[in-house]
Each structure stands twice: as structure tokens, then as C-alpha cells.
Structure 1
């Protein structure tokens, strides 16, 4: 991957963690809030729901 636009220090640190992520950072990435769930629900059709195609 070209990294000509990065400084030498930035290129050396590329792809590495700057430190341990905070609990808030982890929660923001791995948990859905109400706004996220609403967005998913707007995009989710019947064809995407488990069991919607088959009746057992």
C-alpha cells in the first residue's frame, strides 16, 4: 500500500495501536445503540429475516 503521503513516524506507526482502547471506544464499536438499531430495521427486509422464507 502506498504511504508516500505519511511522515516517516506515521508510516512506522501505521497499523499499530497507539494504546489500549477505552471501554467507551469498545462499546461504541461493538454494541448497537437505539439509533443503530433503527437504521438496521429500516434497511432490513423480510427476505433478510431468519425463518421468513420457510414456514415450519
Structure 2
């Protein structure tokens, strides 16, 4: 797994579990439908990145 938290951050916040990471950074069917409905083919990736970053 990629280490993205410092040791100090892990102590303070705890390390996120795989389930927590997937909840925030993996799009489910509902998310994909929202991206499909609101974005055109040329900017769907931007919509998906935006959706996961605001969570």
C-alpha cells in the first residue's frame, strides 16, 4: 500500500482501512450514472475526479 500519511498523522487520525478508502475513491453504479448523466464524453473523467475529491 502506498504510504501517504506521515507517522504523526497516523497516530493522530489512525490509518484508513481499505473499506474507508474504497468508499471515498471508488465509484459505484450510482456515482457512475451521475457522471454519465451530467457530463459529456470529453469531460467525464473530470466529473469523476471532482466527485471523489469532494467526498
Question: TM-score if structure 2 supplies the norm length?
Answer: 0.49
Greater radius of gyration (CA): 1
More helix by share: 2
Higher relative contact order (CA 8 A, sep 6+): 2
Question: TM-score if structure 1 supplies the norm length?
Answer: 0.49
